Structure 1
Amino acid sequence: MNIAILSRNPKLYSTLRLKEACEKHGHTVEIIDHMKCVLFIEKKNPVVLYQGRKLDYFDAIIPRIGASVTFYGAAVVRQFEMMKVFSAVESQALIRSRDKLRSLQILSRAGLGLPKTIFMDYSADAEDSIDAVGGAPVIIKLLEGTQGLGVVLAENKKAAQSVIEAFHGVHARIIIQEFVKEAKGADIRAFVVDGEVVGAMRRQAKDGEFRSNLHRGGVAEVIKLSRTEKHAAITAAKKVGLSIAGVDMLPSKRGPLIIEVNSSPGLEGIEAATKVDIAGKIVRFVEKHATKKKIQKDKVNA
């Protein structure tokens, strides 16, 4: 098969591992910078142009779309979908996962455990909102933040009010969440591929830091998920519409509490912790579904 990896940086670990896995399975692979793609839109003739050529020969794409370019990246993925190319991450699911508020609403409707969360208009009373999630300390998050950026721990009510007012002063959209003390600075990342957990790790924040992201100095160790945790991860990915997802959960007395469903989860930390060939599992998933899509497409054209 001809497979395109949509990535802005061909030197990233995840991009390199996916390329390596594609080639290992005998596929022709090309890394495409989605921000340099041009979308040609015409009646019944969608085309993606890249460096002066038409990208009309791919059987599948594996999107690695950064949060800062979600809008354009999703448009490129959608264009390939209109061309009947299989996408490992669907455009609508990508957009849905990047909207933290919408994702939490979807997960809440599905009956999954979540930290107590408040979303409010700029005019709402900050003190009442802090009390509603159990009081300080509280976590305050920018809706568009990623990799721990735009996430603040306010230790007391006065600090929380100041942070909320500062964000509101620049018209930044935020959510306020309870601080789950029993998690002790740790969270769980479950990596889901095609409805199955293929690897899981526990991430522990470094001393003095409450964010467990590996980019922020957290350390990871492989863990075996409980049946409840595994069910929560698989259900969360399914409800958001992602066939490939990194589901982040906090351990709590109430069971696993989902904090995010990531549509472009990194491979480096999870592969290092679990020693599992996650990239290979992604490629096998692409092979399975791209082949089905090609057979259906050939039947329609016959």
Structure 2
Amino acid sequence: MNIVILSRNPHLYSTQRLIKEGEARGHDIEVIDPLKCDIIIEKEKPTIYYKDRYLDYVDAIIPRIGASVTFYGCAVVRQFEEMGVFTIVTSDAIQRSRDKLRSLQRLSKAGIGMPKTVFTNYSRDVEEVIEHVGGTPVIIKLLEGTQGLGVVLAESKNAAESVLEAFNGLQARVIVQEFIKEAKGADIRALVVNGQVVGAMKRQGKEGEFRSNLHRGGSANIIKLDTDELKLAMNASRALKLPVCGVDMLQSARGPLLLEVNSTPGLEGIETATGRNIARAIITFIESNRK
């Protein structure tokens, strides 16, 4: 098969792993920068032009669309969909997952447990917002943050008020969530492929850090999920129609609680921590769908 990886950086670990596993299974793998694609819209003949050729030979795509290029990246994915090309995640599913508020609303409707969350329209009644999530400390998140950026722990009412006022002044929309103390700065990342969990790791934030992101100095170890955690990961994947995704959750006194679902999860942390060949699982998922 001719498989295209939509990525702006061909040297990233995830991209290189997908190239290696794809070629090992006899496929032609090409890395294409989605921002350098021209979308040609014509009656009954949707096409994509890249550098010096039309991409009319592609059998499947693997979107690795960064959050900063979501709009155009998803437009390219959507064009491939119109051309009948298989994609491991659809453009609509990527956009749903990138909108934290929209995805949490959908996941809540699906009956998935999560920390109490409040979204408000630049409210100045901070005390009421804090009350809705059970009091301080609280987590304040930008609706469009990644890798732990735009996430603040406010330990007091005054701190929460200052942070919310600052974000309001910047016209930045945020959500406020309850702080799960018993998680102790750790979370779980479950990697789902074809609707099934193929690997899971527990990430621990460095000392004094409430965020567990590996990009921020956290560590990770393999973990075996219990029944409730497996169910949450697979249900979240199904609810957002993301057959390939990373599901982040917290361990709490009332069971696993979902943090967010990542439509283009990195592979380095999960493969290193678990020893699982996630890249190969993604390639075989494409093969099974093309057949």
TM range (shorter): over 0.9
Give the aligned partner of residue 91 of structure 1.
91
Q: Deviations over 1:174-205 (max 9, x none)?
A: 00000000000000000000011000000000
> What CA distance in whole angstroms lies between the structure 1 residues aligned with 2:101 and 2:120?
11
TM-score by length of 2: 0.99
> What CA distance in whole angstroms lies between the structure 2 residues aligned with 1:95 and 1:44?
25
1:52 aligns with 2:52: yes
Give the aligned partner of residue 299 of structure 1.
none
Q: For residue 290 of structure 1, report the CA deviation from its aligned partner.
A: 2.2
Would you say the 8 A contact 2:124–2:165 is kept in 1?
A: no
1:229 aligns with 2:229: yes
Q: For residue 52 of structure 1, report the CA deviation from its aligned partner.
A: 2.4
Give the aligned partner of residue 259 of structure 1.
259
3-state DSSP of counterpart to 1:235: helix
One-letter code aligned to 2:97: S
> What CA distance in whole angstroms lies between the structure 2 residues aligned with 1:144 and 1:199?
26
One-letter code aligned to 2:187: D
Give matches, 1:175-190, under 5 Å. 175-190=175-190
Alignment length (residue pairs)? 291
Give the aligned partner of residue 203 of structure 1.
203
Of the structure 1 ranges 150-159 and 121-130, higher mean CA displacement relative to structure 2 is found in 121-130
Give the aligned partner of residue 36 of structure 2.
36
Give matches, 1:5-154, under 5 Å. 5-154=5-154
3-state DSSP of counterpart to 2:237: helix
Q: For residue 127 of structure 1, report the CA deviation from its aligned partner.
A: 1.5
> What CA distance in whole angstroms lies between the structure 2 residues aligned with 1:165 and 1:277?
45
Q: Deviations over 1:31-61 (max 9, x none)?
A: 0001111100011111111102101101000
Q: For residue 88 of structure 1, report the CA deviation from its aligned partner.
A: 0.7
One-letter code aligned to 1:262: N
1:220 aligns with 2:216: no
Note the residue ranges of structure 2 that are not aligned, 5 or more in a row.
none
3-state DSSP of counterpart to 1:107: helix
> What CA distance in whole angstroms lies between the structure 2 residues aligned with 1:103 and 1:255?
20
One-letter code aligned to 1:280: R
> What CA distance in whole angstroms lies between the structure 1 residues aligned with 2:68 and 2:84?
26
> What CA distance in whole angstroms lies between the structure 2 residues aligned with 1:166 and 1:68?
22
Give the aligned partner of residue 192 of structure 1.
192
3-state DSSP of counterpart to 1:251: strand
> What CA distance in whole angstroms lies between the structure 1 residues aligned with 2:215 and 2:17?
18
Give the aligned partner of residue 279 of structure 1.
279
One-letter code aligned to 2:201: M
3-state DSSP of counterpart to 2:249: strand
Would you say the 8 A contact 2:3–2:28 is kept in 1?
A: yes
Q: For residue 17 of structure 1, report the CA deviation from its aligned partner.
A: 0.3
Q: Deviations over 1:237-264 (max 9, x none)?
A: 1100101000000000111000000000
Note the residue ranges of structure 1 that are not aligned, 5 or more in a row.
292-302
TM-align CA RMSD: 0.7
3-state DSSP of counterpart to 1:256: strand
Name the % identity.
Answer: 65
Q: For residue 123 of structure 1, report the CA deviation from its aligned partner.
A: 3.6
> What CA distance in whole angstroms lies between the structure 1 residues aligned with 2:155 and 2:36?
43
Give the aligned partner of residue 245 of structure 1.
245
Q: Deviations over 1:122-180 (max 9, x none)?
A: 14512110111011111000000011000001111100011001100111010000000
One-letter code aligned to 1:142: L
One-letter code aligned to 2:66: G
Give the aligned partner of residue 298 of structure 1.
none
Give the aligned partner of residue 294 of structure 1.
none
3-state DSSP of counterpart to 1:45: coil
Where do 4+ consecutive residues of structure 1 move more than 3 Å? none
3-state DSSP of counterpart to 2:255: coil
